[in-house]
Amino acid sequence: MKTRKLVSLCIAAALGTVLAAPVSATSSFTPDVSNFKAVFDFDTTPASYTEGHKPGTRSDTVGDSKSEKCITAEGIGLTYDLTIDAGVSAKGNALRLDVTELAPEGGSWCPVLLNVKFGPNKLVDVSGATDFIFWVDTTKYKDTNGQHIQKGINLYIQETDVAEDGSLTDKATAWKPKAGSKGGYYLMEDGAGGWKKVENSDSDFWLPVNYQGWIKLPISTFEHTDWSTDDSDGIFNCRQIQIIQLGMGNYSIQSGATLYFDEFGFTGNFAGSADTTTTKPVDTTTTTIDVTTTKPIDGNVTTVDQESDTTVDPAETTDGGPNVSTESTGLTTDATETPATPSVTAATETVEGANGPEGSRGTGFWWIWVLAAVVVIALGGVCFYFLYVRRHPGFLKKLFHKHDGEE
Ligand SMILES: [Ca+2]
Ligand SMILES: [Ca+2]
C-alpha cells in the first residue's frame, strides 16, 4: 500500500513537471452577466461571506441556519484550514485552503462540500450552460521541499433531477468528469487568450501546477458518478445546482501548501435569460446530511462516514460518492457537534422556567402536602401491620370480635 502511494506521488510529481504552466498572462475568460453564472463565488452566492471568515467551523453561521452551512468539510483545523481570503482571487473573495502540519504521512481523505442548497441565493439555475468553470491558484501549492506539486481532486457536481415532463423532482443527480480514456478533458488558459486542452487522468481530476487562472470542463465530458442513479431524462439539466464537492487527500509532504479557489460557476450563453433568483426552489431537505447521526438521509448524495479511519491515496480513488465514505479519516467535524447543543439547551431552559424554584413558591402546590400526609399515614399503617399485627395474631380476631359484640 505504501509503495502504491509512493508511486502515486511520484507519478503526480512527474505529471506536474510535464503540465507545469506559467501563471497566465492574457486572460482567456472575462466573466460577465452574458457568459457566466456563479454557483459559488465566496462573495454573495449562495450566501454572503466576509474576508477572514472560517467556513465550516462551529462559529460558521453562513447558510440557512447554524447547522446548515454553505461550506462543510472533513478535516478542518486538522489536516487543513479553510479561510475566506480576498488577497488572491479572481474577484472579491476566494476560498483559501492551507494544508497543516498535522496532515498524516500516508494522507487522509478530506472532502470540501460547497452546499449551494443553503443561503439566500441558493440553487442556481444555469440553463444554457456549456461548461463548468472555476478559477484556481496553485502557485503556492508546493511540497515541503519547495517543489510545485499536483493536486488530485475527486470533483463532482450535484443537481436536482428533472422529470421528462420538465418538472423538478425531489431527487438529485451527481456528475463527475469522465476519465481521460473515455474522452474526459479540461481546458486551461494558455497565457495568450486561448485555451489549452488537457486530458483527464483515469483516476482523479488533477489541477495544473504553478497555475493561476480559469479551468473549464465541458458539460459534454461529464458522466454520472458510480453511485448516482437518479436521472429521469439522462441529461445534465443545469436547472438547480445543489452541491460542488472537491474531494482531496492531504499528505504531510504537502504541509504548508496553499490553494485558492474562486468563482465556481458555469459559462455559456446567458444573454436574455430570466432572472433565476425568482425560480422557486424544490425543497431539497430530503437530500441533506442528517448531521445528528452523521449518516446520509439520501444515500445518493453526500460525503463521509465519520466512523471509519482508513486513509486513502487520492490517486486510487475513483469517485466522490458513498464508496468514499469508507475511506474517510475519522476526523471529527463541527457538523456532528453543533446542531444538538442549542436544542438541548433550549429544552432545559424551558423546563426550569415552568417548574423551577420561582414556580413552586406559588399557592398552586397545596396538593403536595396532602399527598405527603397520605403517604405518611399509609407508611404508618404498613409499619403497624408488620411490627405489631403480624406478631400478635389474636389482635385482629379480638378487634373484629369486639366490633361484633358492640353491634
Ligand atoms: Ca469571488
Ligand atoms: Ca437529468
Residue 59: the pLDDT is 87
Same domain for 50 and 92, yes or no, is: yes
Same domain for 292 and 228, yes or no, is: yes
Alpha carbon of 168 to ligand 2 centroid (Å): 10
Q: What is the mean pLDDT of residues 185-210?
A: 95
Alpha carbon of 295 to ligand 2 centroid (Å): 25
Query: What letter does residue 286 receive in the DSSP assignment?
Result: G
Alpha carbon of 376 to ligand 1 centroid (Å): 74
Alpha carbon of 240 to ligand 2 centroid (Å): 11
Using pLDDT thresholds of 50, 70 and 90, give the confidence band for residue 342: very low
Same domain for 401 and 310, yes or no, is: no
CA–CA separation, 230 vs 397, rounded Å?
Answer: 84
Alpha carbon of 163 to ligand 2 centroid (Å): 7
Mark which of 301, 319, 338 sits at the end of a domain: 338
123/313: higher pLDDT: 123
Using pLDDT thresholds of 50, 70 and 90, give the confidence band for residue 372: low
Ligand sitting nearest the alpha carbon of 41: 1
Residue 38: the pLDDT is 98
Report if residue 353 sits inside a domain. Answer: no
Residues 72-124: pLDDT tens digits?
998 888 899 999 999 999 999 999 999 999 999 999 988 999 999 999 999 99
Residue type, 132: F
Same domain for 140 and 232, yes or no, is: yes
Mark which of 323, 338, 353 sits at the end of a domain: 338
Alpha carbon of 131 to ligand 2 centroid (Å): 16
Given a cut of 70, whether residue 217 has pLDDT beyond it is: yes
Q: By mean pLDDT, which of 105-119, 212-226, 348-362 is the weakest? A: 348-362
Given a cut of 50, whether residue 352 has pLDDT beyond it is: no
Alpha carbon of 86 to ligand 1 centroid (Å): 8
Alpha carbon of 89 to ligand 1 centroid (Å): 6
Ligand sitting nearest the alpha carbon of 161: 2
Using pLDDT thresholds of 50, 70 and 90, give the confidence band for residue 71: very high
Residue 176: the pLDDT is 96
Alpha carbon of 234 to ligand 2 centroid (Å): 5
Measured CA to CA in angstroms, residue 375 lies from 342, 367, 378, 380 at distances of 40, 12, 5, 9
Using pLDDT thresholds of 50, 70 and 90, give the confidence band for residue 387: low
Report if residue 360 sits inside a domain. Answer: no
Alpha carbon of 125 to ligand 2 centroid (Å): 13
Alpha carbon of 93 to ligand 1 centroid (Å): 4
Same domain for 129 and 255, yes or no, is: yes
Same domain for 61 and 179, yes or no, is: yes
Provide the percentage of residues in the chain whose pLDDT is more than 70: 61
Mean pLDDT of the chain: 74
**How many CA within 13 A on the CB side of residue 4?**
9
Alpha carbon of 208 to ligand 2 centroid (Å): 30
Residues 246-303: pLDDT tens digits?
999 999 999 999 999 999 999 999 987 654 443 444 444 333 333 232 222 232 333 3
Same domain for 298 and 254, yes or no, is: yes
Given a cut of 50, whether residue 6 has pLDDT beyond it is: no
Same domain for 149 and 216, yes or no, is: yes
Measured CA to CA in angstroms, residue 171 lies from 42, 115, 167, 182, 236 at distances of 26, 16, 11, 27, 14
Same domain for 212 and 248, yes or no, is: yes
Residues 7-63: pLDDT tens digits?
444 444 444 444 444 444 799 999 999 999 999 999 999 999 999 999 988 889 999
366/185: higher pLDDT: 185
Residue 81: the pLDDT is 95
* Domain housing 71: 2-338
Alpha carbon of 390 to ligand 2 centroid (Å): 84
Alpha carbon of 169 to ligand 1 centroid (Å): 30
Same domain for 398 and 267, yes or no, is: no
Residue 25: the pLDDT is 75
Domains of the chain: total: 2
Alpha carbon of 55 to ligand 1 centroid (Å): 14
Same domain for 244 and 371, yes or no, is: no
Q: How many CB atoms lie within 10 A of CB 275?
A: 7
Alpha carbon of 262 to ligand 1 centroid (Å): 5
Alpha carbon of 130 to ligand 1 centroid (Å): 21
- Whether the bond between 314 and the residue before it is cis, its omega within 30 degrees of 0, is no
Residue 285: the pLDDT is 37
Same domain for 239 and 380, yes or no, is: no
Residues 6+ apart with CB under 8 A from 174: 156, 157, 158, 224, 225, 227, 228, 243, 300, 301, 320, 321
Name which of 133, 319, 153, 132 is nearest 238 in CA terms. 132
Using pLDDT thresholds of 50, 70 and 90, give the confidence band for residue 398: low
